[in-house]
Every structure is written in C-alpha cells, then in structure tokens.
Structure 1
C-alpha cells in the first residue's frame, strides 16, 4: 500500500486502486481536516489512523497546525496526546 499526497488530500492506494483518503482545507497557519474515509473492504487495519498520521507529519514538517473537524480525526487527536503539538483548537 502506498500513501500519496495530492492537492488538499492524502490518498491511500492498493496498487492502482484508491482505497482511502484524508482531505483538508488550507488556512494561513493551519489545516482543517474535514474528511477521512477508508474503503469498507480495508477497514479494521488502522489505515484511517495512518492517513491522519500523514497529516500530522505534514503539519510538523511545515510548522503548521491541524484542526480536526472530521469526527474520525477528532477521535484520533483526543486519543493521542502525542498529536497535541500540532492541534489547532479554534477556527
């Protein structure tokens, strides 16, 4: 499986098949994570969490923050204190 960054999203590929994505809106100092989805045939493998992790890595690399609007991303941020350094709390 491969993660690919495209404009305003990370895509998860299994070969050439797109099986997941995390999308965001770009703001000056932060990203708003507005959607995370993994194909139902691939759920239960932690792949959506890996997509959010890619967003966290991007924010750290760029010195920015993430606002987890997407319910899944919010759950990830609430359960992973190691993401607190990149969490944006207000829009």
Structure 2
C-alpha cells in the first residue's frame, strides 16, 4: 500500500510532516536556537510503518535546513542514524 507522498514544512509547529494520500503519516520535529535546528523527535504513525517513510522525511528536512543556511543537531536517534549512513549530511552538524 503505497500512495502519493508529500512532505511539508510546518514552520508554525516546527516540524516537517510527511503525508500519504493527504493523510499525515509522520513528522520530524525540531526546536531552533539561532542558526541550529535540533531535530529531537521523529514519528511515523503505526498504520504507515514499514513503508520506508522516515528516510525521505528526514532527507527532505535536512535538505531544506541546509538550503536555509542552517546547521543541525541530531538529538533524535533516527536523525542521528540517518546522518551516520549519509555522510553528505555530516557537514550540517553544529
């Protein structure tokens, strides 16, 4: 079951949200201090687990953060593991 995926930056809620067929499937939450976004919580709804949604979600969140000229802190274990497996993002670490 794989529907249409989209990722939206919800700046008011300080999080990136992934939608599958217009349903919220998960999010990567952050807090921002100065020019550093601390990604501290990533959740994929149990109904959507096993579809590989966290990778594109985290990737898009980090790419948008990079484009904004910001650094990251990876307090969330999922984000830390993603950065570890994708060394291109290590330069973003504050």
RMSD (CA atoms): 1.2
How many residue pairs get aligned? The number is 88
2:15 is the alignment partner of 1:9? yes
Structure 2, unpaired ranges of 5+: none
TM-score (structure 2 length as normaliser): 0.84
2:88 is the alignment partner of 1:82? yes
Give the ranges of 4+ consecutive aligned residues of structure 1 lying more than 3 Å apart after TM superposition: none
Correspondence list, 1:8-87, <5 A: 8-87=14-93
Structure 1, unpaired ranges of 5+: none
TM-score (structure 1 length as normaliser): 0.87
